[in-house]
Amino acid sequence: MNALVTGANGLIGTNLVRELLGAGYGVRALVRPTSDIRGLENLPVELVQGDVLNAESLRGATHGCDLAFHTATVFSYWGMSPSSLEQLAVDGTINVIEAAYRAGIRRVVLTSSSVVFGSSTRPSVRNETSHLDEQDSAPYILAKALQERAALEYAAKVGVELVAVCPTMTVGPFGYRLGPSNGIIVSYLRDELRTTYPGGCNIVSVADVAKGHRLAAEKGLPNERYILGSENLKWRNIHQTISELCGVPGPHWEANHTLSFLAATGHELASRVTGTPPLVTRTQAEMVGRYYWYDHTKAAALGYRPAPARQALAEAISWLSAGPHISRQLRAGLRLSREVFQAGKARERKTAVAGVTT
Amino acid sequence: MGASSLSVHAVIVQEEQKDKKDKYALLEEALKKSGFWFALEEALFRSRVDKDQFLIVIKPDFQAFELPGSTATDPQLVECLIDHLHERGYPQVIVAESRNSFDIWLENRDVQILADMLGYRYVTPGGNPYHIIDLAEDLVPGPFPPTSLLHGTQLPRKWCEAGFRIIFAKNQTDDEQAYRLCLDNLLSILPLRDKDYHYKLRFKQHEVLSELLNHTTVDFALIDAYVSNHGNAGSHAARPIETCTIIAGQNLLVTDHAAALKMGLDPLTSPIHALALKTIGLPQPYRIDGDLTPYTHWINVQPLMLESVRYRQQWPELSQVLPPLLQMIDQESFPFKDPVMAQLNRVVSRYPSRLDDNPTVFWGFLFLNNLLGLVHQELTALQVIHWKDQLWHQDAPLNIPLEAYNIGEYEAIPEYLEPLEQRTQALLPDENGLRWTFHEDGSVLFEFSRIIPVDYDDFVNRVDISRSIQFMNDYIGGRAIPIQQDTQGRVTHQAERNIYLPQPNYLVFYQGRNIDVSKLEFIRYQDHEQKMFWKTVKSENGSARYDDGSIRFFRRDNGDTMVSIFGRQQFTLPLFWQIINLDNFPALKHVLFTHAYTTFFSNTMSNFEAVYEGRDVRIGKAWDSQAGEADGMSAATALSTRIGKVLDSFQDILQEAHVSKSGVLANLFSTHTPQPEYIDEDGFSHFKKDATAHPPSEKDEQTRRPAIEIMLSENKTAIVKFWKDLFLALQKDAGVHVA
């Protein structure tokens, strides 16, 4: 069976490609001409250049495929206008569904996000029946909500089976562009004050998310949404775990809303000077204090069995510590735990078995 | 060197009554008195080549920026020499030069074009033809051994194959070296175009030249001092003076030596000459014939100026950009490729020529040089502490004679170190696993261990113990030369030079120097253990008395890896800390030492983990070995591009604020690249007068007008949003319900 993966060079895309290859799928990877494709190097995939906003380029990409995974998106709280985010999310998705329909692809798996189910100011857990109910949501969250709605409507209209998977905060290897999820780990380690903040989120391994995509494609019900998450943790626990895994003290203190907002403002100003994206933005600071906690019981029915958050973090750190997002100087200050080394070794073994390199 | 008789000598031939026609006679006399013809015939005899096939290469100085200039060798003298050679039956004569860093900045610096502009005509006035070649165009492997910093460097085929090589330099002062003569001229036989980058910054110029003198041959040295160039600006500004002298010698160093004395200088004033004298020395006996009375009205570079320029030139990026900025250049003959540089040069280059006549300019230059040097020094200190990856790697050769050490000396190191190790291991470790104490002689004995929770076999497969020194914290450069290997190809004996940043890093603020040490190393491989021992045998800069030690990879019972480092160290402290003398404050000393060693070795252990993970742990940025070549971009040109971009942005901002493009700024900061109107058959680029400035069109004015209003409006929105969001955050923290 052949599968098309859009956004194949992204964090979820590269891991999904590996998951599909491991399961015996033939994979066609759609990337933009300007994409950083290091995450796909040495993988036995058919690399196709195109753009989800260019319907013409999708026609050739979908030809001969049996399945399509639409992971292409920009998970970012910086650098894109709300309208651009919405255009990429909505128009790009409709283009993919349209191209799938024309190519006779029976099923499209859409990578949505758990944030479409909203968040809480109290530590309560949300599921697929919850709604995005807070006002002034971040443009990224609004774009994902619009994307999902438009996708379900358009797929129903043209008769394509659409299954939406909604990953929570996804961390792990092969993300050569540092997104907000792996960025949580990096920004905490870079912060010499080792700051934590109120609220919490659900952390999941990108390998599990990739597997969840495959399960949704194979066993998911059409027009259904599945949350792909793992453990719900407070930020303090997440940061504590990162500290333990990296052998650094902390967290030392908890920032409140005001300080988070001011710190994020400082990051944004510095970013304008240095020309590099800020590690934390004011949009993210406004999310401080909220609980992005989700329940993945529905996906569990498909056979989805995610690893604990600690293992997800260890896997992510094992890749990040040896990669480009953690500087040599920062790495010299870490004393990684056995779990991190074991996670790295396990990744190497897995990729060696699959016949690809890390 | 071309010492062909017992008495190597140089001659100074000088005309008291200047008469320009006599420069040819002076040259003829200098050749005769210096034994030139004898040396030539002896070289011919040694070569066993027929006289008409005997190749002679003349390497003059082409470094001219104004026509006619006083900083390049007089072509008439070169052609006169060729005529003399033809008369004596040597028809195979080549004039050779290579391009240098100025070719990156200026047009018309190609060797043949430059020769043509200087007045070389390929046929002498006597009707004898000769060729002019670019030395970099045909290269052969150089004779540099693995220990040499020039190892792997190619040399010009013609230079290597020539039977007789003549350096024909110009007599001139130099604002950095004090004088620029034959030794400096020798740098041109190296192949890379950006010579400042490769042979002055990437490698130290004095080390490069000493290597060249050690491994190549110069058969004769001539100095054109008929019209010399003097003054505090050196070759940056034309300040000709008729000195009516020709200096010639069978030994390059003696010839330069004589020329420096004629300038009234101590020859050791020049660092490149000083190192050459230290490493090679003058031939013994040697003789200088002629009048050594210094030239009248001659102006040398003031010692204060020399020091300040050397201080300033330690800033690598700046030292690449400043020479073309300060150089007085006839821009009609040698247009800048970069218009930004052209404009800046017009502003800046007028000042060096006033150094000798205007005390304000002199002291102003002195102040600015020292200021820039100080800024660089403090910037470097910050880089050492915070931005190590901004520092340049130190490409340093192994500086110990390998033949001076036998295998037994490598293998004796464990016997010396192991008793000290045992003594240290008897100490109780602190909470970080560090054991340390003082040796009776004041050196520090320490040991630091860490368990790395990975399989031992896997670890030693990925981490080569023979490279351990390079994985230590703050390693910034050096070179390792394997001496012997075992049957499995693993290095067992090795010599290594390594350079670390000052330890602890904060010493850089007290003029702390890099730790520069050369070591012998011995490595022992066993089933469950690998161990490398090292002993310091030299410290080039006197930064260390002891830096000996061992590193051990050991398999624990559970299969994990244990890494232990033992050391005996004693580093030279900066003057400030020598005066403070920490022995008077034992408690403080204990705290500082513990912190320094814990930090250093904790980071070193993390480096070993990182190497296991497959990442590069070396700090600093690498030099680009192809910088300045056709496909490469030197740091200098990159900097120029950056300057251009900054000026572009500045110009844009000012334009947005209604500053007219046709005004002063356009002339100052225009980055429009002029294209030659045509290139003639000789390869000269011809340019139109600058036509970049044009009056703004009505359309320009219309599109520009609302920009500032838009900017203010956007800022106002952003500011209002900021205060609104901050107020919301404060409300949340105050527990006020926020919808």
- What's residue B639's pLDDT? 59
Interface of B with A in 591-620 (CB under 8 A): 602-603, 605-607, 609-610, 613-619
Interface of A with B in 64-93 (CB under 8 A): none
Interface of A with B in 120-159 (CB under 8 A): 135
Looking at the DSSP bridge assignments, the partners of residue B229 are B172, B240
- A120: exposed, middle or buried (Cβ count in 10 Å: 0-12, 13-18, 19+): middle
**Digit-coded pLDDT (tens) for A298-320:** 999 999 999 999 999 999 999 99
Q: Identify the residue whose tokens are 């011919």.
A: B44
- What's residue B16's pLDDT? 63
Interface of B with A in 716-735 (CB under 8 A): 722, 725-726, 728-730, 732-733
Q: Does A357 touch chain B (CB under 8 A)?
A: no
Closest CA to B224 of B206, B242, B203: B242
Looking at the DSSP bridge assignments, the partners of residue B621 are B392
Which residues of chain A neighbour B453 with C-beta distances below 8 Å? Answer: 337-338, 341-342
pLDDT of A278 higher than 90: no
Q: Identify the residue whose tokens are 């690399």.
A: A47
- Among the partner-chain residues B603, B613, B732, the one whose CB lies closest to the CB of A332 is B603
Looking at the DSSP bridge assignments, the partners of residue B516 are B499
Looking at the DSSP bridge assignments, the partners of residue B448 are B434, B565
Closest CA to A334 of B531, B502, B617, B592: B617
Question: CB distance A289–B732 less than 8 Å?
Answer: yes
pLDDT of A260 higher than 60: yes
Chain B interface, best mutation among A135, A272, A327, A341, by max B CB count within 10 A: A341
- What's residue B565's pLDDT? 96
- Is A348 strand, coil or helix? helix
Distance CA B57, CA B62 (A): 15
Distance CA A86, CA A14 (A): 23
Torsion of CA A302, A305, A306, A308, to 10 degrees: 150
What angle separates helix A235-246 from helix A309-320, to the nearest 10 degrees? 50
Do B398 and B518 meet the contact criterion of CB atoms below 8 Å apart?
A: yes
Q: CA of A308: how far to CAs of A207, B428, B709, in Å? A: 12, 40, 54
Structure tokens at A237: 């626990």
Kindly report the nearest CA distance between residue B565 and chain A, in angstroms. 17
Structure tokens at B669: 């900061």
Q: Does A272 touch chain B (CB under 8 A)?
A: no
Distance CA B64, CA A349 (A): 64
- B329: exposed, middle or buried (Cβ count in 10 Å: 0-12, 13-18, 19+): buried
Question: CB distance B606–A257 less than 8 Å?
Answer: no
Residues of A with catalytic roles: 144
For residue B253, give the DSSP letter.
Answer: H
Structure tokens at A37: 């494709």
Kindly report the nearest CA distance between residue A335 and chain B, in angstroms. 6
Question: CB distance B454–A341 less than 8 Å?
Answer: yes
The distance from CA A114 to its chain's CA centroid, rounded to whole angstroms, is 10
- Among the partner-chain residues A261, A323, A335, the one whose CB lies closest to the CB of B606 is A335
Do A258 and A170 meet the contact criterion of CB atoms below 8 Å apart?
A: no
Distance CA B172, CA B167 (A): 15
Q: Identify the residue whose tokens are 């404060």.
A: B730
Q: Closest-CA residue in chain A for B561? A: A338
- What's residue B634's pLDDT? 54
Q: Closest-CA residue in chain B for A344? A: B613
pTM: 0.80
Q: How many CB atoms lie within 10 A of CB A224?
A: 16
Q: Does A338 touch chain B (CB under 8 A)?
A: yes
Question: CB distance A332–B616 less than 8 Å?
Answer: no
Kindly report the nearest CA distance between residue A328 and chain B, in angstroms. 6
DSSP string, B554-605: EE-TTSEEEEEEEEEEEEPPPHHHHHH-GGG-HHHHHHHHHHHHHHHHHHHH
- Among the partner-chain residues B389, B458, B602, the one whose CB lies closest to the CB of A328 is B389
Closest CA to B499 of B523, B470, B520: B470
Question: CB distance B722–A344 less than 8 Å?
Answer: no
- pLDDT bin (cut points 50, 70, 90) of residue A75 is low
Q: Does B454 touch chain A (CB under 8 A)?
A: yes
Kindly report the nearest CA distance between residue B62 and chain A, in angstroms. 43
- What's residue B112's pLDDT? 94
Distance CA B323, CA B200 (A): 13
For residue B464, give the DSSP letter.
Answer: -
Q: How many CB atoms lie within 10 A of CB B693?
A: 12
**Looking at residues A6-16, what average pLDDT do you find?**
95
Do A264 and A278 meet the contact criterion of CB atoms below 8 Å apart?
A: yes
First to last CA, chain A: 25
For chain A, the helix, strand and coil percentages under 3-state DSSP, each to the nearest 5: 45, 15, 40
Do B335 and B311 meet the contact criterion of CB atoms below 8 Å apart?
A: no
Give me the residues of chain B with pLDDT under 50, please.
Answer: 1-7, 631-632, 657-675, 683, 687, 689-694, 702, 739
Q: Closest-CA residue in chain B for A286? A: B729
Which residues of chain A neighbour B739 with C-beta distances below 8 Å? Answer: 135
**Digit-coded pLDDT (tens) for A209-259:** 999 999 999 999 999 999 999 999 999 999 999 999 999 998 999 988 899
